[in-house]
Amino acid sequence: MSTLTTVLVLAAVVAALVAAGLLLRARMGTGSGTRSLRRRFGPEYDRTLERYGGDGEAADRDLRERVERHGGIRPLPLEQAVREHYAAQWTMLQERFVDAPRQAVADAEELLTRIAATRGFPEPDRREEQLAALSVHHPHHVEGLRTVHRAARSDAASTEELREALVHARALFEDLTAAGSPTATQGARTRPVAGHDRRHLLKPKGSGA
């Protein structure tokens, strides 16, 4: 084998090894990125993956774009008086649920979007952008806002389904009105608002509780 042939063979081998290494690194990087997104978004990652029919690359791309657009938002703090005002409004709509469940759920959606805007998230008239931003900062509970939106607009939703939607949305309400860091309660057990125990939330008339 001539010297030139030997050099060419070695060059081809080196090129193949480099290409294999780059491919392996790319695959490892993708896997690492997916794990990081799963940790950050929790249940929101699974919902996004389902939305894309199990296409992990599309789901990862969507979530990364959300972080790029909205990850820099620094939610504004709520003064104690404002927090108490919102808590009182939530308590009132819970009490109205007994007589007007669908309206109470619609009011809950309106209140949540208004609080989110007050905290510095996109305005309610930019619904998809607001949801995307909330999914970055409140991934464990953002689905509650989607749930009340669907329930309030569904003519087929039963009273029990409306009640469950409102209970589901309450976790996001607690996140948005929590003192301190807006992410402090993500993934944690939610706390009662305004002295109401969750077990007694929205009990229908005649329930005996």
pLDDT digits (tens, 9 = 90+) for 178-198: 975 444 334 433 333 333 333
Asked if the structure places residue 28 within a domain, the reply is yes
Q: Cα separation of 178 and 82, whole Å?
A: 11
Q: What is the mean pLDDT of residues 149-155?
A: 94
Q: Cα separation of 114 and 143, whole Å?
A: 16
**148: closest CA among 129, 162, 133?**
162
* Residue 114, domain extent: 80-200
Look at residues 36, 70, 104 and tell me which one is the last residue of a structural domain.
70
Q: Specify whether 93 is located in the same domain as 128.
A: yes
Q: Specify whether 148 is located in the same domain as 105.
A: yes
Q: Cα separation of 102 and 153, whole Å?
A: 8
Asked if the structure places residue 156 within a domain, the reply is yes
Q: What is the mean pLDDT of residues 37-65?
A: 94
Q: Specify whether 137 is located in the same domain as 184.
A: yes
Q: Specify whether 128 is located in the same domain as 157.
A: yes
Q: How far is CA 4 from CA 11, 16, 99, 164, in A?
A: 11, 18, 90, 76
Q: Specify whether 113 is located in the same domain as 48.
A: no
Q: Which residues of 122-161 are buried (b: 16+ CB within 10 A; e: fewer)?
A: beeeeeeebbbbbbbbbbbbbbbbbbbbebbeeeebeeeb
Q: Specify whether 88 is located in the same domain as 185.
A: yes
Q: Specify whether 42 is located in the same domain as 127.
A: no
Q: Specify whether 35 is located in the same domain as 126.
A: no
Q: Specify whether 125 is located in the same domain as 171.
A: yes
Q: Which residue has the higher pLDDT, 25 or 105?
A: 105
Q: Specify whether 23 is located in the same domain as 109.
A: no
Asked if the structure places residue 75 within a domain, the reply is no
The 10 Å Cβ neighbour count of residue 182 is 23
The pTM is what?
0.71
Q: Cα separation of 90 and 101, whole Å?
A: 13
Q: Which residue has the higher pLDDT, 117 or 4?
A: 117
Asked if the structure places residue 134 within a domain, the reply is yes
Q: Could you tell me how many residues make up the chain?
A: 209
Type of residue found at 61: R
Q: Of the given ranges (25-34, 50-59, 102-111, 191-200), which has the lowest mean pLDDT? A: 191-200
Look at residues 70, 104, 121 and tell me which one is the last residue of a structural domain.
70
Asked if the structure places residue 208 within a domain, the reply is no
Report pLDDT digits (tens) over 61-111.
999 999 999 999 999 999 999 999 999 999 999 999 999 999 999 999 999
Q: Of the given ranges (19-28, 47-56, 79-88, 98-107), which has the lowest mean pLDDT? A: 19-28
Per-residue pLDDT at 3: 58
Asked if the structure places residue 205 within a domain, the reply is no
Asked if the structure places residue 206 within a domain, the reply is no
Q: Specify whether 86 is located in the same domain as 162.
A: yes
Per-residue pLDDT at 179: 73
CA dihedral 81, 139, 163, 194 (to 10 degrees): -20
Look at residues 70, 96, 127 and tell me which one is the last residue of a structural domain.
70
The 10 Å Cβ neighbour count of residue 55 is 13
Asked if the structure places residue 207 within a domain, the reply is no
Task: Provide the domain count of the chain.
Answer: 2
Per-residue pLDDT band at 33 (split at 50, 70, 90): confident
Q: Specify whether 154 is located in the same domain as 91.
A: yes
Per-residue pLDDT at 12: 54
